[in-house]
Amino acid sequence: MANSPQSQKRARQIERKTAVNKARRSRIRTFLRKVEEAIASGNADAARDALKAAQPELMRGVTKGVVHKNTVARKISRLSARVKAVGNA
Q: Does residue 61 contact residue 72 with C-beta atoms inside 8 Å?
A: yes
Question: For residue 66, how far is the Cα from the chain centroid?
Answer: 8
pLDDT at 77 (0 to 100): 97
**pLDDT tens-digit profile, the chain (89 residues):** 778 999 999 999 999 999 999 999 999 999 999 999 999 999 999 999 999 999 999 999 999 999 999 999 999 999 999 999 997 86
CATH of domain 5-88: 1.20.58.110
pLDDT at 17 (0 to 100): 96
pLDDT at 2 (0 to 100): 77
Distance, in Å, from the CA atom of 38 to the CA atom of 82, rounded to the nearest integer, reads 11
Tell me the HSE value of 46 on the side-chain side, using a 13 A CA sphere: 12
- Terminus-to-terminus CA distance in the chain, angstroms? 58
pLDDT at 89 (0 to 100): 67
